[in-house]
Amino acid sequence: MRPRHATGILASNPTLVGAVTVLVTIVAVFLAYNANSGLPFVPTYNLNVLVPQANSLVRGNEVRIGGARVGIVRAVTPERLPDGRVVAKAELALDETVRPLPVDSKLMIRPRSTLALKYVEVRPGDAEEGFEQGATVPLEAATPEPVELDEFFNTFNERTRRSAQGNFEGFGNALAGRGISINEAIGEAPGALEKAERVGRDLNAPATRFGRFWRELSALAAEVAPVAERQAGMFRGLDSTFSALAAVADPYIQRTIAESPATLDEGMRSLPAMRPFLQHSSELFDALAPGAASLVDTAPAIAAALRAGGPVLARTPRLASQLPPTADALLAFAQDPAVEPSLRQLVGTNQILDPTMRFLAPAQTTCNYLALLLRNVASLTSIGDNEGAHWVRFFPLAPPVGPNSEGGPASAPASGGEVPPPNDPDPTDANYLHSNPYPHTAAPGQPFECEAGREGYAREQVMIGNVPGNQGIRTEEQTPEQLGKKKGRR
């Protein structure tokens, strides 16, 4: 008899076929279940990070660098510090391409959506030293500490709501029915804004310590953070309030407006209590008067801008209709696999060219050399005849005569010794080498000057290299206003 092949036995045996199918299914389910934790047998770069809090951060959340997924969160556990504080420790499994992460890197837990989904954003540093496998990133790297939405809402507690309501009511009563006074105040505003410049200088002065005010304000916000739940309740109460107002808008609110004159009379009797506020407001407008005066000079420019903006805004719908294809092209460009490597190479090229460009840029931005060169080159052939022929303009300069003259071989710099020609008006100043091959151009590490083409002539002495003293930055085609701006940017 002819023996059966093994494949024939497997295909004809339902039990073996079912067993193989179940095994493949189990392996597929296992891989799908563990997909968020990384594929098996794939090496990872594991780090532990300490964060002030890991609210809503769970196992399987992404770790991103520059918006790209580079790993996942394997676990989140509490950790007690030596000083007694309790923070969160997150175990990260990163791709090997991230290794080693610089020790000066920063990270922050950020929201991925408004549904409390989070991810860990990592911003790599510039340090040459990196974290080893299994190292712990210190708590100092988790900055700034994120502010949750409920923490922001909790700043509006019941007392704050009552105070805000009182302020709105008081200001509303103070302003209602005073349109003429407001118009007069607007008319006086230019004089008040004119003094705003002095107020700004006072606030910016070191003695004012205005920066400390904002730091203390930040500390105040940290103090009211525990009342986040009350702030959330405020918004629920506002919803109920506005719903109730919508139900009584007509006719009750209209009737309230009709009875406002009596309310205004009552406000007139209450105004003396607001006299300090009005006095301080008057002082504020007096201080703002200098700033308002400057509007007289800027009003024509603003009016011209508004006139020019009207036609532009009229063409805006046509531009908007052209934006979707542009956005699609940008999306396709961003999804092109070749874009990211190209951008990395471009960033590297810019980093390589940065020192050179910072050294060369002042030659034009400060000294205007490039514009002068192009202007002069364009005028080289500006002289010609009636037949259409042009020739290059130049002036021949004969080298001085004497020992080691520049007109022939020399064993040392020319330092005088010429026999002066007859009738030389200045026979003592001849045959001295003057060479400045690398003048200052206001580049980094050099004096703030533009020396090329403006060197002084040192009489009766050899001068090689930069001319002593500062030649300034004034070159052709530069106005005093431009020089003042460059001096301020120095």
Domain boundaries, given as residue ranges, for the chain: 1-33, 43-146, 153-293, 349-377+428-490
Checking if the pLDDT of 236 tops 60, the result is yes
Checking if the pLDDT of 15 tops 90, the result is no
Distances (CA, A) of 314 to 301, 305, 308, 326, 348: 21, 15, 11, 20, 42
Closest to 172 (Cα-Cα) out of 257, 236, 258: 257
SS3 101: coil
Between 89 and 290, the more confident residue is: 89
- CA triple 362-365-368, angle to 5 deg: 100
Checking if the pLDDT of 389 tops 80, the result is no
Express as a percent the part of the chain with pLDDT over 70: 82
Checking if the pLDDT of 304 tops 80, the result is yes
Q: Quickly state the pLDDT bin for 9 (edges 50, 70, 90).
A: low
Beta-carbon contacts of 465 under 8 Å, excluding residues fewer than 6 positions away, are 435, 436, 438
Least confident range of 45-54, 241-250, 462-471: 241-250
At 333-350, the pLDDT tens digits run: 888 888 888 888 999 999
Backbone phi and psi for residue 58, each to the nearest 5 degrees, phi listed first = -130, 170
Whether this prediction's pTM lies above 0.95 is answered by: no
At 400-424, the pLDDT tens digits run: 777 888 778 888 888 877 655 656 6
Q: Quickly state the pLDDT bin for 1 (edges 50, 70, 90).
A: very low
Tell me the residue ranges of DSSP E strands in 284-379.
none
- CA triple 444-448-453, angle to 5 deg: 105
Checking if the pLDDT of 53 tops 50, the result is yes
Q: Quickly state the pLDDT bin for 393 (edges 50, 70, 90).
A: low
The structure tokens 């009737």 sit at: 255
- CA triple 401-402-408, angle to 5 deg: 75
Question: What confidence score (pLDDT) does residue 68 get?
Answer: 85
Give the whole-angstrom CA distance, residue 114 versus residue 148.
Answer: 11
> Residues 74, 59: contact at Cβ < 8 Å?
yes
Question: What confidence score (pLDDT) does residue 174 get?
Answer: 76
Give the whole-angstrom CA distance, residue 103 versus residue 66.
Answer: 18
SS3 230: helix
